[in-house]
A = this chain, B = another copy of it.
Amino acid sequence: GHELLKQERAKSNIAVEKLSEFLFTKKVIERKRRVLEILESEETFDKSQNYFAGRIDRFEIALARAKKLRQLKVKHGWTLKEFRAAGELISEPGPYGLHESMFLITLHDQGTPEQHEIFLKKAENYEIIGCYAQTELGHGSNVRGLETTATWNSGDKTFTIHSPHLTASKWWIGSLGLTANYAVVMAQLIIDGKPYGPHPFVVQIRDLETHEPLENVHVGDIGPKFGYNTMDNGFLLFNKVKIPHVNMLAKFSRVDPNTNKYVRPSSPSLVYGTLTWVRSTIVLQAGGVLARGVTIATRYCAIRRQFQDRDAQEWERGENQVLNYTMVQIRLLPLLAATFALHFTGQSMMQLYQESQMKMSRDAGKAGSAQRGAGPEETHSGSDLLADLHATSCGLKSLASSIAAEGLEVCRRACGGHGYSSFSGIGPWYADYLPTTTWEGDNYMLTQQVARYLLKSARSVLKGEMPTNDTTHILSNYLSRADMGAAFDVIGKDEDLVAAFAWRTAYLTFEASKHRDEQKKAWNDLLVDFYRLSKAHSQYLIVKNFYEVLRSSSTTNELDPETLALMHKLFRLYALNTLEQESSEFYTSGATTVRQIVLARTNTVMKLLKEIRPHAVRLVDAWDFPDWQLDSSLGRYDGRVYEDMFHRASELNPLNAITVDPYPDSGVTFKKDESREFKSKL
């Protein structure tokens, strides 16, 4: 293995370090190295038993790590960025996860200065540990349907938090199962018998001393999951628990304790922003998430040899690296291209988001409404730019997390049998990542938001309004050229390739608009078309972003010509492979001809695979994952795959400290069990 990776690296001239710096900046890379050094020296973070431990042990270790991490933050005076970098290196969800994200964010964003004083400060000091309790057993996506109630008692100026049915039980709440003693609880505000929709309340749930649940609070862990087992997702039922007035987070809407009246929020645009930020983060991370799998599979497939090439000459002795088989390449290299495509798209999204936040902060005073995770059928108001950004983030969150999750499984399977071992490092990572396709907006449902936005844009363009952003621009461009036809040179010209993706989106948008606005088809009958539309639009955005990043002067300045040329090939591979997979939409829309698609498939894509192949290992090297982070036998930087597999199996595996009685008639299962001693020895 060792020699083969050396050879691979010698075969390519890609300036790995330069490329890494271009992707992440030097500063970020150095920060990672610095933090890594500290983590590696702490025994608490030793990963060697991660894959062996059962749920209870894993949770206990994760809790110990969460504590240690907080201690290190204090000790080294880490910034938030350093703290986050540590979390990424450790790469497992931990029991403080929701405390450190949604609990703090919600207190911060939705609390008044008085509430910051009472709750936020303590939370920041870990004197109270919280979580974000929105989802219930019976309701997730449909936040409006939540059943937990918060009834205003005008008499003693309190709220009564109550779970009227079993299905009102909070469920899935991260950090709640065993860890949190506080929760932000989303509950239906009821004043004088009248419901005002879900609002956030701060509720203590466990004793700060004994950590036992408070009276009338039924709380616990919801049990094992496909992944995420280092996290204590929890359930929570209230039996008429009273909380004071100040516990309703009141930055946007509140109950006036004197008049007992509900005070409405003025505008929901700020909350809108948080949602967009969370989704943009998912898009940005998707590239890196997938890159872990691609790194592991690419390195392994470069050292794995199996069979001789069928057409090999007699003098070409020895087995072929499986990465040389085109059927392996077609699975891995487009995903390699996708890692960069997603990374650049995420960066652009974040930039757009920050720009829009600057704009927004001007009208910060008017911000409002506290709901999070609104359903796909609700309409948000907001400026044009924001609406575009919101829709973009929905579509891209959906597409990017699907590409990453499904791509990881492709990587795992590309490793053959060994991909199935936990030591591959792909399976456990995949299992932990998978819920990203469901939370922060289920990937299927989010597409309705995108469609709604595109339909609105189409209406505006059809009315003859001037284009105000890229979306309306591509729609009106399509309208003006539709009769003429497209005639894009998708194989020869990169900008035409982008234009073909735009054309297809526009075509599908107007089709949808015809169905909904002219033919008045039922919304439900169009969901499948909307899903396709959203996917098409998001693919266009990814292709466009990739293209624009490569053209930008900062890129052409930073990257050497060879690396830049290779990046262009990756761009083309990503775009043409996508085009080919979705070919029927491209030719029915007239964006390409059938001939072009056949050519792309049989010639261009195959040629690109050949050209990219020699650089594959160096390209994944540029993602710069330390071995410690990957924790993978197959993905080791040095290629010593088999030695590492064997070491883990024979030296670290506690099952091997057991001797069984193999005969069916004996009631004894384990004749000798030294697995406990074994573990404590390690």
The interface of chain A, by Cβ under 8 A from chain B, is 51-57, 59-60, 63-64, 66-67, 70-71, 95-96, 126-127, 129, 135, 137-142, 145, 166-167, 169, 171-172, 177-181, 206, 211-212, 218, 220-228, 232, 235, 306-307, 309-311, 319, 324-328, 330-331, 375-377, 409, 412-413, 416-417, 419-423, 427, 431, 434-435, 437-439, 442-445, 447, 522-531, 580, 583-584, 587-588, 594, 597-598, 602, 606, 642-643, 645-646, 648-650, 652-656, 658-667, 669-671, 675
Indicate whether A646 sits within 8 Å of B166 (C-beta atoms), given known contacts A326-B525, A662-B180, A664-B66.
yes
Asked if B655 and A221 make an inter-chain contact with CB atoms under 8 angstroms apart, the answer reads yes
Indicate whether A417 sits within 8 Å of B528 (C-beta atoms), given known contacts A53-B54, A63-B669.
no
Asked if A655 and B55 make an inter-chain contact with CB atoms under 8 angstroms apart, the answer reads yes
Chain B residues with Cβ below 8 Å from A145 are 306-307, 319
Indicate whether A588 sits within 8 Å of B594 (C-beta atoms), given known contacts A55-B655, A235-B646, A669-B64.
yes
Nearest-Cβ distance from residue A283 to partner chain B, whole angstroms: 19
Nearest-Cβ distance from residue A42 to partner chain B, whole angstroms: 14
| Closest B residue by C-beta to A320 | B524
| Closest B residue by C-beta to A675 | B56
| Closest B residue by C-beta to A63 | B669
Chain B residues with Cβ below 8 Å from A656 are 177-178, 220-221
* Bound-complex Cα distance A413 to B527 (A): 17
Asked if B137 and A225 make an inter-chain contact with CB atoms under 8 angstroms apart, the answer reads no
Asked if B525 and A225 make an inter-chain contact with CB atoms under 8 angstroms apart, the answer reads no
Asked if B653 and A221 make an inter-chain contact with CB atoms under 8 angstroms apart, the answer reads yes
Chain B residues with Cβ below 8 Å from A645 are 137, 171, 222
Asked if B423 and A71 make an inter-chain contact with CB atoms under 8 angstroms apart, the answer reads no
Asked if B658 and A178 make an inter-chain contact with CB atoms under 8 angstroms apart, the answer reads yes
Asked if A531 and B138 make an inter-chain contact with CB atoms under 8 angstroms apart, the answer reads no
Asked if B527 and A326 make an inter-chain contact with CB atoms under 8 angstroms apart, the answer reads yes
Tell me which of B129, B142, B444 contacts A662 (CB under 8 A). B129
* Bound-complex Cα distance A204 to B524 (A): 64
Asked if B59 and A655 make an inter-chain contact with CB atoms under 8 angstroms apart, the answer reads yes
Nearest-Cβ distance from residue A48 to partner chain B, whole angstroms: 12
Nearest-Cβ distance from residue A573 to partner chain B, whole angstroms: 13
Asked if B587 and A330 make an inter-chain contact with CB atoms under 8 angstroms apart, the answer reads no
* Bound-complex Cα distance A324 to B180 (A): 37
* Bound-complex Cα distance A528 to B235 (A): 48
Chain B residues with Cβ below 8 Å from A658 are 56, 178
* Bound-complex Cα distance A655 to B60 (A): 10
Chain B residues with Cβ below 8 Å from A60 are 669-670
Chain B residues with Cβ below 8 Å from A228 are 420
Asked if A166 and B642 make an inter-chain contact with CB atoms under 8 angstroms apart, the answer reads yes
* Bound-complex Cα distance A643 to B95 (A): 26
Asked if A223 and B423 make an inter-chain contact with CB atoms under 8 angstroms apart, the answer reads yes
19 contacts between A and B (CB under 8 A): A51-B223, A54-B56, A54-B57, A60-B669, A126-B663, A142-B307, A145-B306, A145-B307, A177-B655, A179-B662, A211-B662, A223-B423, A223-B655, A224-B421, A226-B412, A232-B655, A327-B530, A327-B531, A417-B438
Nearest-Cβ distance from residue A370 to partner chain B, whole angstroms: 20
| Closest B residue by C-beta to A175 | B662
**For the complex of A and B, 10 pairs with smallest distance between CB atoms:** A54-B54, A70-B664, A327-B527, A226-B427, A310-B523, A583-B584, A220-B656, A67-B664, A224-B422, A221-B655
| Closest B residue by C-beta to A181 | B662
* Bound-complex Cα distance A139 to B322 (A): 12
* Bound-complex Cα distance A583 to B588 (A): 11
* Bound-complex Cα distance A137 to B645 (A): 9
Nearest-Cβ distance from residue A417 to partner chain B, whole angstroms: 5
Chain B residues with Cβ below 8 Å from A421 are 222-226
Asked if B63 and A167 make an inter-chain contact with CB atoms under 8 angstroms apart, the answer reads no
| Closest B residue by C-beta to A413 | B437
Asked if B223 and A52 make an inter-chain contact with CB atoms under 8 angstroms apart, the answer reads yes
Nearest-Cβ distance from residue A500 to partner chain B, whole angstroms: 15
* Bound-complex Cα distance A212 to B656 (A): 12
| Closest B residue by C-beta to A663 | B126
* Bound-complex Cα distance A658 to B178 (A): 8
* Bound-complex Cα distance A257 to B649 (A): 39
| Closest B residue by C-beta to A206 | B662
Indicate whether A438 sits within 8 Å of B419 (C-beta atoms), given known contacts A51-B223, A324-B524.
yes
